[in-house]
Chain A
Amino acid sequence: MNIKINRETLLKPLSSVCGIIERRHTLPILSNLLLEAREEKLVLTATDLEMQISLSIFSNIGGELSTTISAKKLLDICRALQENTEINMTTSESRITVKAGKSKFNLQTLPAADYPVMSKVLTGSNTLIRISQRELKRLLRQVEFAMAQQDIRYYLNGLLFELTANRLNIVGTDGHRLSYTSTELNQNYDKQEVILPRKTIIELIKLLDDSDEQVLISLTNGQANFAFGAIELISKVIDGKFPDYSRVIPVGHQNSFSVNRITILLSMQRASILSNEKYRGIRMVLGNNSLKLISTNSEQEEAEEELEINYNKEPLDIGFNVTYMIDVLNNVGSDEVIFSFADANSSCLVTVPEDSNYKYVVMPMRI
């Protein structure tokens, strides 16, 4: 069995799929990559048993192949080779020989039949959603940072995809702040909820590009399937009940002001230098047409930033974890942001003028 392929054709797809392979494993085959070549097509598959990425390369490879090989080593070899080298792979027994120019590598393989391939679930109901790559990537970016990480409330370690009528709502929260976004679909759906794991979301953002090409999402029993370009991503979903986010998003907060995103972001970053390194607390003091950001740390050092804003509602003194604010300002990607408050004990709502669907809620901190 023998194939040949250009380094440039292989390298980019290879690095895309290798991302999900964990470095430490108890199962040796999980550090491997499945290579399947048939006629004009080479399929690379990687899995961590929770999700799987398959990527097809269409090229004149001139042979057949079906084996698994260490993902990291193959990637390192390809990276180190000179540009535009022709790579030759020959398998024999439990070995594969990779030749490129004057370089030759002899690597171990494991049988392709042993590779734990996740197959598409075909039973049960199947919901199909179509959305452009650019739109999906934008939505995920808006909410991804609010996901919990290794929280024992396992259902928070991911994003909620909620279908209602012709809308797709995506929500992430870690119990302290919540990020919500929504988009219109071209079709009506029955109400349906799935939670996609954190790692899947992060890989998706990496793999999606800014094209108008369609992503076909199919949701079946316990599985979500994303197909776009040459990529097919299969992921398990988190089996759990996401909290009722609609109760958390406040309505009718009166005290609001609009501010340039970059201006307040830079002020926040400066003030955060002297905030307590563990609590990260910062006070937002609202007065007549002025916003002060005040922080102190455990060494009693203080920072104060003042911004001129258009504000003539009630004065307010409210504390926040500055990380939560910097997170949203870094990720919303608009020129202006709107902050709305009720009082010092109620949550704060952050919205952006150009996207009425986006909402970010953060709880204050008692300082």
Chain B
Amino acid sequence: MPRIQLLNDQLISQIAAGEVVERPAAALKEILENSLDAGSNDIHISLMQGGIKQIRISDNGKGIPREELNLALTRHATSKISNLEELERVATLGFRGEALASIAAISRISLSSRFEGNSHAWKISSEGGYLGEIVPAALNMGTAIEVSDLFFNTPARRNFLKTENTEFGHCEEVISRIALSRPQISFTVQHNGRSLSRWSQGSSTQRFKDILGEEFLSESFEIDEVANGFRLWGIAAQPTFSRNSRDKQYVYVNGRFVRDKLISHAIKQAYQDVLHNDRFPAYAIFLELDPGLVDVNVHPSKTEVRFRDGQSIHRFIFHSLNKRLASPTGAINSVSVSKSESNPFKSAYPADANTLRDGTYQSQKNLALNSQSEEFYKTLFGNIHNSNVDSGIEKQNSDSENGIQNEVEDFPLGFALVQIHGVYILAQNKHGLVIVDMHAAHERIVYEKLKCNFDIDEGHQIQMQPLLIPVSFFADKMEVSTVVEESKSGYGNLSKLGFDIGILSPTNLVVRAVPAILKDADPVSLARNVLHDLKEFGSSRAFTERRNEMLATMACHAAVRANRILTLQEMNGLLRDMETTERSGQCNHGRPTWFQISMNDLDKMFMRGK
């Protein structure tokens, strides 16, 4: 029978290393974060054999004094926090005082650093955690760390390493994540002696472009929302740029890359109405909030966080994104949906911040519009607009001295010219040609109208259909406890959602009423969804989602079908509706409803002006 005994320090570090450093990329992340915390603005990364052989990072941060070099490689030693209060409000990326010691325990490491103001640098080496002597070294400024032969003394872990390419891929991902969040720092990356990339200091837009690609950038919109001490900024791709996997989803909380269920759920919900189920949105977004409101000390690798007030963060993120996604075509003005990969008319938008923000072109003032249709249009729709609440249009109409041209510019989708094969509408606006998929566009318009009607109809209370024969079902502890909590607060949430759920026994719940509109749905699965959402996110959109599914089907049947011949008036009516309808850029299934081909694109196709 083995005796209980204290482990030696060496072994403790190796065990701890198992949690933090599972592959070279993890070591790389820890060291890079140290460089960031040291305030560097130029970081060189050099990897050998995917980081398995060697990781070398040098920065120009403030460095480590000679007398602290020892401690830097020792477990539970850090300069970043000193008491509990600071832990609770930690603003640096690291704070556990474990990373370097863990890496040191399983590799050959050499750490040279020149502290600010020192005349030369000092260097300390360690092999498997056994520290060597501190010797003078040559270094311009900052700190240089060389980690070689990772896992040389833990063969078990070494056997789990993948191929050099795979490991390098992971390292690249780590570098991208960090570089995305720090545009003010320049990065140089080398692999096996070859220079791979160099990202210079610049704006965040520039950095997005460097890392995510120009295409991503031109297909995205910028977000910057501030409320209740939260700030959400970054870029998110248009629904048409959706992906079939979860890559290209970057979420940062106070500059730290995280994978958080709450945040991704909020984003997913915001995209719900415009994205097909098995597509995933792409985004790089940054959430900034008081460090005291978020707990990062959840897991040693620190990709998980806990929020003090998850509910309001969920709401904030959902609303910020939803607002942008929902803005009607008219409001985004000429943000073109036209640049998806398959589009042969890919335009060369300069993807810098300015074009992204207002997106206006030099307009072709002298673009002649068919004056007849213009007049006609005025007689048709002039009255409508005068009675319209949309003040923007009203103002333009009263300000008729500016003439027709001005009015044209007020209609981002322009005027219909013709219908092609009973499917597409061609229209002309101030930028050039607009192609509209008439069924997709109409479907969205009908859908949004239905949603709007039902929202008004429901008012404060959803119509409820009590069941003649209540349905009881076997529930787990979480579901029962959710109902118990609800019962304490007077069933406010549940009845607001149109549900009446009661407790039969500690393991059985009963559904006594469901929302009238969903009366034919399966009450049990509906109730489970609602309870799950209430528990996880404090509110439930399960009802709205199910209802919207149904309205979407209704909209699909009510929308004009292909081969329905439309007159010009009808087409123009459709375009005007699109301009004032939310999310009219995509149909209910996330397909695009319209494309813009600018005069520039057309000119290029015909090689005019060359």
CA distance A365 to B450 in the complex (A): 21
Chain B proximity of A243: nearest CB distance (Å)? 5
B517 A175 Cβ-Cβ under 8 A = no
A361 B468 Cβ-Cβ under 8 A = yes
Interface residue stretch chosen among B70-78, B258-266, B275-283, B458-466: B458-466
Chain A residues, Cβ within 8 Å of B519: 176, 321
Given A152-B522, A298-B456: A366 touches B464 (CB 8 Å cut-off): yes
- Which residue from A281, A298, A299, A347 sits with its C-beta under 8 Å from B516? A281
B453 A175 Cβ-Cβ under 8 A = no
Given A153-B471, A298-B454: A176 touches B522 (CB 8 Å cut-off): no
Chain B residues, Cβ within 8 Å of A175: 467-469, 471, 523
Chain B proximity of A232: nearest CB distance (Å)? 34
B550 contacts A by Cβ under 8 Å: yes
Q: List, sorted by A's number, 9 A–B pairs whose CB atoms are closer than 8 Å.
A: A175-B523, A177-B468, A278-B516, A278-B554, A281-B463, A298-B453, A298-B456, A345-B466, A363-B465
CA distance A191 to B328 in the complex (A): 65
Chain A proximity of B136: nearest CB distance (Å)? 78
Chain A 227-266 near chain B by CB (<8 Å), digits 1 or 0: 0000000000000000100001000000000000000000
A363 B467 Cβ-Cβ under 8 A = yes
The residue of chain A having its C-beta at the shortest distance from the C-beta of B456 within the complex is: A298
B457 contacts A by Cβ under 8 Å: yes
A365 B516 Cβ-Cβ under 8 A = yes
CA distance A365 to B453 in the complex (A): 19
The residue of chain A having its C-beta at the shortest distance from the C-beta of B465 within the complex is: A365
Instruction: Tell me the chain A residues, 172-224 only, with Cβ under 8 Å from chain B.
Output: 173, 175-178
B469 A299 Cβ-Cβ under 8 A = no
CA distance A243 to B472 in the complex (A): 11
Instruction: Tell me the chain B residues, 470-513 only, with Cβ under 8 Å from chain A.
Output: 471, 513
Chain B proximity of A160: nearest CB distance (Å)? 12
Chain A 294-310 near chain B by CB (<8 Å), digits 1 or 0: 00001110000000000
CA distance A243 to B471 in the complex (A): 10
Chain B proximity of A155: nearest CB distance (Å)? 11
B469 A248 Cβ-Cβ under 8 A = yes
A299 B468 Cβ-Cβ under 8 A = no
Chain B residues, Cβ within 8 Å of A364: 466
A279 B468 Cβ-Cβ under 8 A = no
Instruction: Tell me the chain B residues, 236-250 only, with Cβ under 8 Å from chain A.
Output: none
B468 A363 Cβ-Cβ under 8 A = yes
Chain B proximity of A310: nearest CB distance (Å)? 28
A147 contacts B by Cβ under 8 Å: no
Query: Which range contains the number of A residues in contact with the other chain?
Result: 20 to 34
A132 contacts B by Cβ under 8 Å: no
CA distance A321 to B522 in the complex (A): 18
B463 A365 Cβ-Cβ under 8 A = yes
Instruction: Tell me the chain B residues, 505-540 only, with Cβ under 8 Å from chain A.
Output: 513, 516-517, 519, 522-523
A366 B461 Cβ-Cβ under 8 A = yes
CA distance A248 to B468 in the complex (A): 7
CA distance A361 to B454 in the complex (A): 28
Chain B residues, Cβ within 8 Å of A345: 466
Top 9 closest pairs, chain A to chain B, by CB: A298-B453, A366-B464, A279-B516, A363-B468, A243-B469, A298-B457, A363-B466, A278-B517, A175-B469
Other than A176-B468, A177-B468, A248-B468, give 4 A-B pairs with Cβ distance below 8 A: A173-B468, A298-B450, A300-B456, A366-B466
Chain A 349-367 near chain B by CB (<8 Å), digits 1 or 0: 0000000000001111111
CA distance A7 to B480 in the complex (A): 66
CA distance A288 to B513 in the complex (A): 31
CA distance A287 to B463 in the complex (A): 24
A15 contacts B by Cβ under 8 Å: no
- Which residue from B456, B464, B465, B469 sits with its C-beta under 8 Å from A173? B469
Chain B residues, Cβ within 8 Å of A176: 465, 467-468, 519
Chain B 427-456 near chain A by CB (<8 Å), digits 1 or 0: 000000000000000000000001001101
Given A152-B522, A153-B471, A278-B517: A321 touches B465 (CB 8 Å cut-off): yes
CA distance A16 to B454 in the complex (A): 45
A276 contacts B by Cβ under 8 Å: yes
The residue of chain B having its C-beta at the shortest distance from the C-beta of A249 within the complex is: B468
- Which residue from A279, A299, A319, A361 sits with its C-beta under 8 Å from B517? A279
Given A279-B463, A281-B463, A321-B516: A362 touches B457 (CB 8 Å cut-off): no
CA distance A364 to B471 in the complex (A): 17
Chain A residues, Cβ within 8 Å of B463: 279, 281, 319, 365-367
The residue of chain A having its C-beta at the shortest distance from the C-beta of B551 within the complex is: A278
CA distance A168 to B465 in the complex (A): 31
Chain B residues, Cβ within 8 Å of A248: 468-469
Chain A residues, Cβ within 8 Å of B523: 175
Chain A 331-356 near chain B by CB (<8 Å), digits 1 or 0: 00000000000000101000000000
Chain A residues, Cβ within 8 Å of B516: 278-279, 281, 321, 365-366
CA distance A299 to B465 in the complex (A): 21
CA distance A178 to B517 in the complex (A): 19
The residue of chain A having its C-beta at the shortest distance from the C-beta of B461 within the complex is: A366
Chain A residues, Cβ within 8 Å of B522: 152
Chain A proximity of B33: nearest CB distance (Å)? 52
CA distance A175 to B510 in the complex (A): 13
Chain B proximity of A361: nearest CB distance (Å)? 6
Chain B residues, Cβ within 8 Å of A299: 453
CA distance A231 to B186 in the complex (A): 89
A178 B468 Cβ-Cβ under 8 A = yes
Chain B residues, Cβ within 8 Å of A276: 457
Chain A 269-284 near chain B by CB (<8 Å), digits 1 or 0: 0000000101101000
CA distance A175 to B521 in the complex (A): 11
CA distance A12 to B123 in the complex (A): 103
CA distance A362 to B469 in the complex (A): 11
Chain A residues, Cβ within 8 Å of B550: 278
CA distance A319 to B453 in the complex (A): 20
Chain A CB within 10 A, most for which of B466, B467, B554: B466
The residue of chain B having its C-beta at the shortest distance from the C-beta of A248 within the complex is: B468
CA distance A299 to B456 in the complex (A): 9
The residue of chain A having its C-beta at the shortest distance from the C-beta of B523 within the complex is: A175
Chain A CB within 10 A, most for which of B454, B467, B517, B519: B519
The residue of chain A having its C-beta at the shortest distance from the C-beta of B512 within the complex is: A363
CA distance A176 to B457 in the complex (A): 22
CA distance A73 to B199 in the complex (A): 74
Chain B residues, Cβ within 8 Å of A319: 463
Chain B proximity of A76: nearest CB distance (Å)? 31
Chain B proximity of A323: nearest CB distance (Å)? 10
CA distance A243 to B470 in the complex (A): 10
The residue of chain A having its C-beta at the shortest distance from the C-beta of B524 within the complex is: A152
The residue of chain A having its C-beta at the shortest distance from the C-beta of B453 within the complex is: A298
Chain B proximity of A111: nearest CB distance (Å)? 43
Given A278-B550, A279-B517, A321-B516: A347 touches B457 (CB 8 Å cut-off): no
Chain A residues, Cβ within 8 Å of B554: 278
Chain B proximity of A41: nearest CB distance (Å)? 46
B464 A365 Cβ-Cβ under 8 A = yes
Chain B proximity of A283: nearest CB distance (Å)? 11
Given A278-B550, A279-B517: A347 touches B464 (CB 8 Å cut-off): no
Chain A proximity of B464: nearest CB distance (Å)? 4
The residue of chain B having its C-beta at the shortest distance from the C-beta of A152 within the complex is: B522
A347 B468 Cβ-Cβ under 8 A = yes
CA distance A347 to B512 in the complex (A): 13
CA distance A178 to B470 in the complex (A): 13
Instruction: Tell me the chain B residues, 56-81 only, with Cβ under 8 Å from chain A.
Output: none
The residue of chain B having its C-beta at the shortest distance from the C-beta of A346 within the complex is: B466
Chain A residues, Cβ within 8 Å of B469: 173, 175, 178, 243, 248
Chain A proximity of B307: nearest CB distance (Å)? 36
The residue of chain A having its C-beta at the shortest distance from the C-beta of B457 within the complex is: A298
CA distance A243 to B522 in the complex (A): 17
The residue of chain A having its C-beta at the shortest distance from the C-beta of B500 within the complex is: A366
CA distance A347 to B468 in the complex (A): 8
CA distance A223 to B465 in the complex (A): 35
Chain B residues, Cβ within 8 Å of A321: 465, 516, 519
CA distance A299 to B461 in the complex (A): 17
